[in-house]
Structure 1
Amino acid sequence: MSFRMRAAQERDLQHLYEMAKLTGGGFTNLPPDKKSLAAKLERSAKALTRDDEALSDDLFVLVLENAETGEVRGTCQLFSQVGQRWPFYSYRIGTLTQHSEELKRTFRADMLTLSTDLEGASEVGGLFLHPGERAGGLGLLIARSRYLFIREHRARFADRILAELRGVIDEAGGSPFWDGLAGRFFGMNFQDADQFNAVHGNQFIADLMPKHPIYTAMLPESARAVIGIPHPSGRAAMRMLENEGFGFENYIDIFDGGPTMTARTDAVRSIQEAEDSEIVAIGVEGGEKVLAAHGRLADYKATYAFIERHEGGGVAIDAHGAAVLGVDVGDTIAHVARW
């Protein structure tokens, strides 16, 4: 495979913009707005050149590159600590139980409470794979390369990690959840609110969103039906997150009602099972297929490769994988089994 993940650069702006136009809306971290994307790349560049290891408000943008042609066909983002520039809001689904002795009945009502519980966690997001490349495990390559990046820069990430999945969007590009709840308080449709959030942040949520809990029974059925449900295109992403150890803990996105998945960072499967090995030889036939990564910060690269384990802990790597990663004998790679 000639695809690899690497740190994004300024020259990737046009590629990111073209992919952003294909997302279909509701994709806050990848807005079809060049100015916003350029700001993300600038922020990522600053994070990649920061030489201390402190946990800070970093954004890292990675891209999937065809190593033979240089064409960018996918992307993802890592936020080291959310909620530092403005509050990180979620709705938390809870239950209120009340009992009437006179009626001899117990009533349980589901409620949505505006919450900043997840503030300070790290976030993986902005994952997008070009529709023309949705085969051959490239989605997994993008997703799992994020965790090896976190492992290689562990001090820069929090002990808790989250991933927001896009909620249900109708054929017209609207959100049943937004229309049934937040849209009533903001005087704007979902597309406008989503675009405003992507470009300007969500402080307007703090300004206008009702602070009292919302009884879900008061919402229209169209809104209730999509609470915590991922967009059909995000079901595979949800399964990948579950395979990594993420779980749904009753937090949902305030815009489209999509589920927010969370995990303990060190318990993420790709982080927990990865190991470091020195390359002792190049050129293997067959062997174990792994996700391999090498380099730090701006030099980080990840790809699928084949390895053979040698006595003493070293590995031999296939010549193609070595070339895509830019490694040689004596270099160390992080690797984890493909599954």
Structure 2
Amino acid sequence: MMIVRHAAHRDLDDIYRLAQRAGESGIGLTSLPENKEILAERITRTHHTLDGLAEKCDASYLFVLEDTSIQKIVGVSAIEVAVGLKEPFYNFRVATQVHASKALNVYKTLDTLFLSNDHTGCSELCTLFLDPEYRKNQNGKFLSKVRFLFIAAFRSFFEERLIAEMRGFSDQNGHSPFWDALGYHFFNMDFATADYLSGIGQKVFIAELMPRFPVYVDLLTSEARAVIAEMHPHTLPAAKVLMSEGLKYQGYVDIFDAGPTLEANTADLRAVKESRLFKVNMTEQVETTEIHYLVANDQYKDYRVLLINNKVDQGNTLRLTAAQAQALNVNEQDEVRVLALEKMEKN
């Protein structure tokens, strides 16, 4: 059985193994570094948050996907409650400037990149990684969409705006044409080093070294211009999942690789609008369907989510087997939150 829950310190070795697998897939997943100390701190932050001990600037939730049949962690995903309150959160705002002269009969619009802190205080979806061997049976969508269901259940803990940074384009050797054309000239370090330092929280150098004036896109190389707001091919499936839940690109890109930032109002998320509460009805057998549903126990500290294909009626009860109820840590007549894995088309 596959279940999502909060990360625990006993999971550290498995999470570190996932970080190593992420490293094998190339540069870009900076929030899952191959560093046990940093990963342990991520778990500690989760538990401080759950215990009400974390300041908003440190609040974070790290979820794990566990294969309970072998007690192995095979995936992770996370939510930062509010970015940029402790260390500045930077990206580029893609904008337009007009250069015009009536006397010379010249009118020209130019794309520009402005260094921005506009997403300060937003909640952020991050740290999504699934063991390649488990990229089947809807596990990827399950692990990603759990975060939306958690936000729907505990909206007061999150901000009104939600963002997700998508990995930008880099080649098979880890070279970013955008970085080579812009960032390298100010930092004099390779893309991998700058991205890693940013991912582990050492971001002061960004403020110290990045240009404060707008960058004219036309002055960049054609290779760099071509990848602005473009995603790495490996990131496209994850981005499509987020966009199906209500996030979209609105003109902000990463300062290192120019990957797009997706964003949405929390109130507009599909999970917030469409998730429903049901009373548990325990039964020996359940009728199944081709439709998959996320079902969560809505217990803040002992949060658990399953992906099921039980038939969901129009009433207010949901039939669960004893094994499913036990996995969710719920009993007869307890409430669970349910959301279809895919958006349901209305007749």
- Answer yes or no: same fold by TM over 0.5: yes
Match for 2:324 among 321, 325, 334?
321
Contact 1:55 1:158 in 2 (8 A): no
* TM-score normalised according to structure 2 size: 0.92
Q: Residue 94 of structure 2 aligns to which amino acid in structure 1?
A: I
Cα separation, 2, equivalents of 1:243 and 1:311: 24
Return the letter of the residue paired with 2:84: G
* Structure 1, gaps ≥5 residues long: none
Cα distance in structure 1, aligned partners of 2:11 and 2:312: 36
Distance 2:312 2:94 in 1: 48
Q: Does the alignment pair 1:119 with 2:116?
A: no
How does 1:99-178 map onto structure 2 within 5 Å?
A: 99-178=100-179
Amino acid at match of 2:245: E
Rounded to whole Å, the distance in 2 between the matches of 1:149 and 1:306 is 20
Q: After superposition, what is the alpha-carbon deviation per residue over 1:256-297, rounded to whole angstroms, capped at 9, x for unaligned?
A: 110000000111112211011111233312256311011433
CA contact (8 A) 1:307 1:318 kept: no
Amino acid at match of 2:39: L
- Residues 221, 192 of structure 1: CA spacing in aligned structure 2 closer, same or farther, 3 A cutoff? same
Q: Secondary structure at the match of 1:298?
A: coil
Report the Cα distance in structure 2 between the residues aligned to 1:233 and 1:318, rounded to whole angstroms: 37
The 8 Å contact of residues 31 and 200 in structure 2, kept in 1 or not, is answered as no
Q: Deviations for 1:139-176, whole angstroms, at most 9, x for unmatched residues?
A: 11011100111122211100100000111121211221
Q: How does 1:48-67 map to 2 (within 5 A)?
A: 48-50=50-52, 57-67=58-68
Separation in 2 of the partners of 1:262 and 1:278?
33
Preserved contact between residue 55 and residue 157 of structure 1 (Cα < 8 Å): no
In the TM superposition, what is the alpha-carbon distance from 1:178 to its structure 2 partner? 1.2
Partner of 2:307: 304
SS in 2 for 1:135: coil
Shift in CA distance, 242/273, structure 1 to aligned 2, threshold 3 Å: same
**Alignment deviations for residues 63-117 of structure 1 (CA, whole Å, 9 cap, x no partner):** 1100211101110110011111111111000011222324423211100000011
Hey, what's the Cα distance between the residues in 1 that align with 2:312 and 2:197?
Answer: 51
Pick one of 15, 39, 42 that aligns with 1:40.
42
The answer to whether the Cα contact below 8 Å between 1:41 and 1:61 also exists between their aligned partners in 2 is yes
- Where in structure 2 are the equivalents of 1:184-195 lying within 5 Å? 184-195=185-196
CA RMSD of aligned residues (A): 1.8
In structure 1, what is the equivalent of residue 279 of structure 2?
278
CA distance in 1, matches of 2:319, 2:172: 50
Structure-2 change in CA distance of 1:55 and 1:196 (3 Å): closer
The 1:51/1:212 distance shift into structure 2, 3 A limit, reads closer
Aligned CA distance change for structure 1 residues 126 and 91 (closer, same or farther; 3 Å): same
**Matched ranges for 1:21-100 at <5 A:** 21-23=20-22, 24-50=26-52, 57-100=58-101
The aligned amino acid for 1:10 is H
Q: Are the structure 2 counterparts of residues 236 and 309 from structure 1 closer, same or farther at C-alpha, using a change threshold of 3 Å? A: closer
TM-score, length of structure 1 as denominator length: 0.94
Which stretches in structure 2 are left out of the alignment for 5+ residues?
Answer: 343-347
Q: Given residue 8 of structure 1, which amino acid in structure 2 is its aligned partner? A: A
- Counterpart amino acid of 1:297? Y
Contact persistence 2:59–2:81 (CA under 8 A):
yes
Of stretches 102-111 and 271-280 in structure 1, the one that deviates more from structure 2 is 102-111
Give the Å deviation of 1:212. Answer: 0.5
Q: Cα deviations across residues 10-57 of structure 1 (Å, max 9, x unaligned)?
A: 1111111111122222111111111211111111111122179x9664
In 2, distance between residues paired with 1:182 and 1:56?
27
Shift of 1:209: 0.8
Contact kept, 8 Å, 2:267 with 2:273, in 1: the verdict is yes
- Counting aligned pairs with the same residue, the percent is 34
User: Cα distance 1:135–1:309, how it changes in 2: closer, same or farther (>3 A)?
Assistant: closer
Equivalent position of 1:269 in the other structure? 270
Contact 1:285 1:318 in 2 (8 A): no
What is the CA-CA distance between 1:329 and the residue it aligns to?
1.0
Q: Which residue of 2 aligns with 1:204?
A: 205
Report the Cα offset of residue 184 of structure 1. 0.8
Aligned to 1:6: 5
Q: Is the 8 A contact 1:306 1:318 kept in 2?
A: no
Against the structure 1 CA distance between its residues 215 and 42, is the aligned structure 2 distance closer, same or farther, given a 3 Å change threshold? same
Matched residue, 1:224: 225
Q: What SS is found at the alignment partner of 1:227?
A: coil
Per-residue CA shift, 1:180-228, capped at 9, x if unaligned? 1111101111111111122233121011111101001111112111110
- Residue 111 of structure 1 aligns with an amino acid whose one-letter code is T
Higher mean displacement: 145-154 or 279-288: 279-288
